């Protein structure tokens, strides 16, 4: 067989090889106040105490009915946690804090326009708003426990309010990232079977008031094509009293939340006690095939895990002002802006716009003004802020005690800027590795216990037992320097329950690869396959190298190469398309698109632009390609498979290797000249 055949490009293959880094120790001041300072935690969460150890996380919550079985494996690998328990997530994030904290800020919203006042929702105010929206959803929109509700909302206070209102009713929210296109939203509406869409007229991004409502019209048309009818579109307004979208409200279908809410002022809705294993939400993520996967997260297990890791890894205390700069439309925002911090009665800050609006000092002004002490962001943002204003943090007198990085590997040089300049050398950093599917952190140092190592996520967090397997399922030795597939040996409460409506895909994508016995109900036979390549050094720290599948992690957001390729093929002149990750100074990775044209079609700039445009309309601006190259032909194996690995090597200026066995080796040089000059 041809040596190259079947070898696809992966991010891991283009990962830089870093040297061993020096360690940084947590400051004494941090340790003095930390939630966890004792190594004994690893004993409590040892495998011999598994799964009962997770009682410690579940006990952070208030249950209507305590569970009888910590982990039920009878339907492996669909794990059920805290079986028999009844709980409500909205109650746990809001109501139960009222006696002690009703007058404390729960959510502080910072609008992008700097002259617009912040919105401060106390726990009492959050309680009132969540109840009113829950009443509206129940009595006006007919939403019941178990129904799916799609939220296509930007970073506004109405987003967490609506999420918590759904949770109050036991309805399953599916938040679609606001930057996603109407088409992407429509596909998710259809897949989840939502009858209700909640959206907004517009929002601010880079100093522009963007139209958002018109996306709902596209979304509904796409959903309808796929057989899903939506009865009601509920529209929040960015500015009370003014409607900023050019898209008309459709009579009998679209309703302004402001108008309808008038009927529910002061209404209270009892939280619905839900079984622990009832789904709390769906979060769609990209996979190897075109269709996004609806990761289904549970109520009890997920909330326990989000709360536990927020307390121990994020070191959140109720008196902290915590700011995570992610978007709630991604899993980070669900777990570590909304559910984790609010379950712990912290103050959580949310910011509407781009970090550098109007200049690179903006985040540090926000931190100073709100006295943020716990900060959370992604390497892509750190790179951007470092480039735009390397000296800016020093001009402001905020003081962080704790900082998080998440979503992609962080280069040690960027890590050090984060540590010395943003953290002023006095804050700990946790580099947290996890995924949409995992609900919460998998690898990280425990901030007061272990030293930090730039570029390494750290060991498994308490109760998580990672292992690196090679392709044959043998364990890769610690400290061998060899990379392999990082897996988790054991289930944990935050893990997703299944892919919505597609159990087979859930099993085959995440559990089939290293399953020892398909009929087993013993969790030891079902390691979780994460789809990332990693190495583990002598000290037990894991370094994540990137995705091993057809997924590109752009600025910390997952995009399926197949989704981009299929959008490229929507341009009628395009015959074939191949998408590969290319390294980018700010975003980490971005897509490069290669297309070949139908016979007789002449290459033109217009076609390249049409491809980029098609990707933007079909997915969203975050998927915008770095380049679109129109090539005379794709490098192919003799069996006709496009060699993305070769294209990735060209895009990244790496060694292409031996291509003599390709069906058309001569094309490789031609493409290389075209790309590299
Ligand atoms: O490749 C890993 C990378 O992001 C992927 C998960 O993306 P997503 O589901 O969108 O969730 C992002 C936020 C949790 C992983 O498979 N990744 C995530 N965190 C890290 C990371 N890569 C390196 N270091 C991290 N800390």
Q: What percent of the residues of the chain are helix, what percent strand, and what percent coil, each to the nearest 5?
A: 30, 25, 45
Residue 553 CB–ligand 1 contact under 6 Å: yes
Two structure tokens written together for 102: 């009703």
Q: Of all protein residues, whose CA lies closest to atom 14 belonging to ligand 1? A: 435
Within a 10 A sphere around the Cβ of 190, how many other Cβ atoms? 20
Residue 12: the pLDDT is 82
- HSE-up of residue 367 (Cα within 13 Å, Cβ side): 29
Q: Of all protein residues, whose CA lies closest to atom 26 belonging to ligand 1? A: 433
Residue 42: the pLDDT is 98
Q: Are 155 and 178 in contact (CB under 8 A)?
A: yes
- Three-class SS state of 19: coil
Cβ neighbours for 69, distance < 8 A, ≥ 6 positions apart: 80, 82, 83, 84
Tell which atom from ligand 1 comes closest to the C-alpha of 11: 1
Q: Which residue has the tokens 């100073």?
A: 368
Q: How many A from CA of 435 to the centre of ligand 1?
A: 5
Residue 433 CB–ligand 1 contact under 6 Å: yes
Residue 194 CB–ligand 1 contact under 6 Å: no
Residue 558 CB–ligand 1 contact under 6 Å: yes
Segment 31-90, tens digit of pLDDT? 999 999 999 999 999 999 999 999 999 999 999 999 999 999 999 999 999 999 999 999
Two structure tokens written together for 581: 């990750």
Report the alpha-carbon distance of residue 580 to residue 635 in Å, rounded: 13
Residue 431 CB–ligand 1 contact under 6 Å: yes
Distance spanning both ends of the chain, measured CA to CA: 33
Segment 206-216, tens digit of pLDDT? 999 999 999 99
Which residue among 412, 488, 532, 581 is best mutated to probe the pocket of ligand 1, counting the most ligand atoms within 8 A of its Cβ? 532
Q: How many A from CA of 27 to the centre of ligand 1?
A: 27
Residue 286: the pLDDT is 84
Low-confidence ranges of the chain (pLDDT < 70): 1-8, 16-17, 290
Sign of the dihedral through C-alpha 670, 675, 676, 677: positive
Phi, psi of 43 (to 5 degrees): -70, -45
Residue 287: the pLDDT is 75
Residue 8: the pLDDT is 63
Residue 494 CB–ligand 1 contact under 6 Å: no
Which residue among 433, 461, 620, 622 is best mutated to probe the pocket of ligand 1, counting the most ligand atoms within 8 A of its Cβ? 433
Residue 577: the pLDDT is 96
Residue 3: the pLDDT is 38
Q: Are 38 and 466 in contact (CB under 8 A)?
A: no
Report the alpha-carbon distance of residue 306 to residue 341 in Å, rounded: 8
Type and span of the H or E element at 386 = helix 379-388
DSSP code of residue 141: S
Residue 291: the pLDDT is 80
Report the alpha-carbon distance of residue 385 to residue 395 in Å, rounded: 14
Report the alpha-carbon distance of residue 556 to residue 409 in Å, rounded: 9
Give which of 316, 294, 200 is closest to 256, Cα–Cα. 200
Cβ neighbours for 148, distance < 8 A, ≥ 6 positions apart: 171, 172, 173, 174, 192, 193, 194, 282
Phi, psi of 281 (to 5 degrees): -160, 165
Residue 457 CB–ligand 1 contact under 6 Å: yes
Report the alpha-carbon distance of residue 553 to residue 587 in Å, rounded: 9
Q: Are 647 and 9 in contact (CB under 8 A)?
A: yes
Within a 10 A sphere around the Cβ of 659, how many other Cβ atoms? 18
Two structure tokens written together for 357: 């609006």
Residue 641: the pLDDT is 87
Q: Of all protein residues, whose CA lies closest to atom 13 belonging to ligand 1? A: 407
Residue 5: the pLDDT is 42
């Amino acid at each position: 067989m041809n040596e190259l055949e079947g070898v696809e490009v992966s991010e891991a293959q283009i990962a830089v090889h870093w040297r061993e880094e020096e360690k940084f120790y947590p400051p004494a001041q941090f340790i003095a106040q930390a939630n966890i300072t004792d190594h004994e935690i690893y004993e409590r969460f040892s495998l011999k105490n598994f799964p009962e150890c997770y009682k410690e996380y579940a006990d952070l919550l208030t249950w209507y009915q305590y569970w009888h079985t910590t982990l039920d494996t009878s339907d492996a690998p669909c794990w059920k946690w805290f079986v028999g328990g009844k709980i409500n997530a909205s109650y746990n994030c809001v109501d139960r804090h009222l006696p002690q904290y009703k007058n404390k800020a729960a959510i502080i919203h910072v609008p992008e326009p700097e002259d617009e006042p912040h919105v401060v929702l106390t726990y009492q105010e959050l309680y009132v708003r969540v109840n009113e929206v829950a009443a509206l959803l129940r009595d006006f929109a007919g939403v019941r426990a178990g129904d799916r509700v799609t939220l296509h909302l930007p970073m506004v206070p109405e987003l967490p309010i609506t999420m918590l209102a759904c949770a109050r009713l036991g309805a399953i929210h599916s938040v679609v990232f606001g930057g996603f296109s109407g088409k992407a939203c429509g596909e998710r509406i259809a897949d989840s079977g939502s009858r209700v869409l909640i959206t907004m007229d517009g929002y601010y991004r880079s100093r522009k008031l963007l139209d958002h409502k018109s996306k709902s019209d596209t979304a509904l048309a796409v959903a309808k094509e796929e057989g899903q009818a939506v009865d009601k579109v509920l529209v929040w307004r960015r500015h009370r009293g003014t409607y900023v979208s050019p898209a008309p409200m459709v009579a009998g279908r679209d309703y302004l939340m402001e108008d309808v809410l008038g009927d529910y002022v002061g209404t209270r809705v009892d939280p619905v006690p839900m079984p622990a294993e009832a789904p709390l939400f769906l979060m769609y993520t990209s996979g190897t095939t075109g269709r996004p996967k609806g990761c289904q997260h549970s109520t009890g297990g997920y909330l326990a895990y989000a709360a536990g890791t927020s307390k121990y890894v994020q070191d959140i205390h109720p008196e902290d002002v915590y700011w995570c700069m992610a978007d709630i439309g991604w899993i980070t925002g669900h777990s570590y802006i909304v559910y984790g911090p609010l379950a712990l009665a912290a103050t959580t800050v949310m910011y509407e716009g781009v970090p550098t609006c109007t200049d690179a000092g903006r985040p540090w002004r926000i931190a100073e003004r709100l006295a943020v002490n716990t900060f959370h962001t992604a390497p892509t943002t750190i790179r951007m802020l470092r480039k735009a204003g390397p000296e800016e943090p020093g001009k402001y007198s905020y003081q962080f005690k704790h900082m998080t990085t998440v979503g992609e590997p962080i280069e040690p040089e960027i890590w050090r800027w984060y540590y010395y300049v943003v953290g002023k050398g006095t804050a700990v950093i946790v580099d947290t590795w996890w995924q949409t599917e995992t609900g919460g952190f998998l690898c990280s140092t425990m901030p007061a216990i272990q030293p930090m190592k730039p570029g390494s996520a750290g060991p498994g967090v308490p109760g998580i037992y990672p292992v690196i397997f090679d392709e044959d399922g043998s364990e890769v030795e610690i400290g061998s320097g060899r990379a392999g597939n990082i897996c988790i040996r054991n289930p944990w409460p935050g893990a997703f329950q299944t892919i919505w409506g597609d159990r087979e895909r859930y099993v085959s994508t995440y559990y089939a690869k290293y399953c020892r016995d398909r009929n087993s109900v013993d969790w030891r036979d079902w390691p979780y396959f994460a789809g990332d390549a990693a190495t583990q050094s002598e000290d037990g720290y894991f370094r994540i190298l990137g995705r091993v599948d057809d997924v590109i992690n752009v600025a910390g957001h997952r995009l399926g190469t197949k989704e981009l390729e299929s959008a490229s093929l929507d341009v009628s002149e395009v015959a074939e398309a191949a998408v590969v990750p290319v390294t980018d100074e700010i975003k980490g990775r971005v897509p490069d698109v290669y297309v070949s044209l139908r016979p007789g079609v002449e290459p033109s700039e217009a076609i390249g632009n049409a491809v980029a445009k098609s990707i933007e309309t079909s997915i969203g601006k975050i998927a915008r390609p770095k380049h679109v190259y129109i090539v005379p032909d794709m490098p192919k194996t003799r069996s006709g498979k496009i060699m993305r690995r070769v294209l990735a090597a060209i895009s990244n200026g790496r060694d292409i290797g031996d291509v003599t066995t390709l069906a058309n080796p001569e094309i490789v040089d031609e493409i290389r000249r075209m790309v590299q000059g």
